[in-house]
């Protein structure tokens, strides 16, 4: 947790590390425990020691205070790199992870999202496709292409051609009075807000189905929306120039989410 890190850090050299982005409202974290649980699980997959929870809380608080955002809506990013050294791809025998914390102002988008289908697929064969890692270049490039196409966000399929999600958000759609979202095995981040949507849906009479489905599944959808910890729920209004339908139940889901978070 410093303003500079040594250039032999594996997070920098190889993208060997993890991160979490946590919403803070007036200095208080939203769904903190869920973020820390996910980070701990990701450390196990990556073979990295878990960070100490108190240390994470302190680092987040210090970053918030330093940014002057402790009374605002802020995104705190905690990065957990694999630390220094090793020979080429291989880590040292006992990696010593490094913590970096930073806070930035975070506002919610005011309009519905315009999506563009990315040519870059999610690589569901890699554990990294289900984690927030420091190797996020595919998402950077997918987003760049989407912006160049006049869209806000990239819709990504996986290598089997199944819907996976967006460059920085999970995907949902309403159809046949059910809520659908790509299954984690499709190369999908186990999103904190994704889980929240699934938790509030039953109270609105909506069953959620985690599914392997192609992009054509969106053709008949009553509504499409995307989620992440910072934007919450954001309706999608267009995909590759084609209008998507909207449905009042999306607003009801958003309101239910706001009540929880």
CA distances from 156 to 35, 121, 169, 208 (A): 23, 6, 10, 20
Using CA atoms, how far apart are residues 236 and 256, in angstroms rounded to an integer? Answer: 18
Cβ proximity to its own copies, 122 vs 194, nearer residue: 122
Contact with its own copies (CB under 8 A): which of 34, 42, 78, 81?
Answer: 81
Cβ proximity to its own copies, 131 vs 223, nearer residue: 131
Stretch that binds its own copies, among 123-131, 170-178, 193-201, 208-216 (CB under 8 A): 123-131
What phi, psi does 206 have (nearest 5°)? -110, 125
Residues in CB range of 183: below 8 A, 6 or more apart: 210, 211, 212
41 interacts with its own copies by CB under 8 A: no
Contact with its own copies (CB under 8 A): which of 35, 38, 130, 143?
Answer: 143
Q: Is residue 22 a contact partner of residue 33, using CB atoms and an 8 Å limit?
A: no
72 interacts with its own copies by CB under 8 A: no
55 interacts with its own copies by CB under 8 A: no
Q: Find, among 256, 253, 171, 176, the residue nearest to 212 by Cα.
A: 171
Q: For residue 250, with 0-12 CB atoms within 10 Å meaning exposed, 13-18 middle and 19 or more buried, which class applies? A: buried
136 interacts with its own copies by CB under 8 A: yes
Stretch that binds its own copies, among 5-13, 194-202, 218-226, 232-240 (CB under 8 A): 5-13
19 SS3 class: strand
Largest CA distance in the chain: 55
What phi, psi does 207 have (nearest 5°)? -85, 135
Q: How far is the CB of 64 from its own copies (least distance, A)?
A: 15
66 interacts with its own copies by CB under 8 A: no
Cβ proximity to its own copies, 127 vs 202, nearer residue: 127
102 interacts with its own copies by CB under 8 A: yes
Contact with its own copies (CB under 8 A): which of 139, 196, 229, 235?
Answer: 139
| Residues of this chain that bind its own copies (CB under 8 A) | 2-16, 19, 46-47, 77, 79, 81, 88-91, 100, 102, 119-121, 123, 125-128, 133-141, 143-144, 147, 159-160, 167-168
């Amino acid at each position: 947790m410093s303003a500079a890190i040594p250039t032999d850090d594996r997070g920098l050299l190889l993208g060997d590390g993890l991160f979490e982005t946590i919403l803070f409202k007036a200095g208080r974290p939203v769904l903190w425990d869920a973020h820390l649980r996910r980070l701990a699980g990701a450390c196990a997959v990556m073979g990295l020691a878990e960070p100490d929870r108190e240390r994470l809380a302190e680092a987040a608080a210090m970053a918030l205070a330093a940014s002057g955002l402790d009374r605002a809506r802020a995104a705190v990013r905690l990065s957990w790199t694999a630390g220094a050294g090793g020979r080429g791809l291989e880590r040292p025998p006992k990696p010593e992870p490094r913590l970096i914390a930073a806070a930035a102002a975070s506002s919610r988008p005011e309009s519905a999202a315009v999506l563009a289908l990315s040519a870059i697929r999610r690589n569901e064969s890699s554990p990294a496709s289900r984690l927030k890692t420091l190797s996020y270049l595919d998402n950077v490039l997918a987003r760049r292409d989407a912006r160049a196409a006049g869209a806000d966000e990239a819709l990504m399929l996986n290598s089997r051609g199944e819907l996976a999600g967006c460059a920085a958000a999970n995907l949902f759609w309403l159809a046949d009075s059910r809520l659908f979202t790509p299954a984690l095995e499709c190369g999908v981040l186990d999103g904190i807000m994704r889980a929240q949507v699934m938790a509030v849906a039953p109270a609105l009479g909506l069953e959620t189905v985690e599914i392997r489905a192609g992009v054509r599944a969106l053709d008949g959808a009553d509504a499409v929306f995307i989620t992440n910890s910072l934007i919450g729920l954001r309706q999608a209004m267009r995909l590759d120039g084609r209008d998507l339908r909207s449905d009042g139940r999306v607003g009801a889901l958003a309101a239910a989410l706001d009540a929880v978070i």
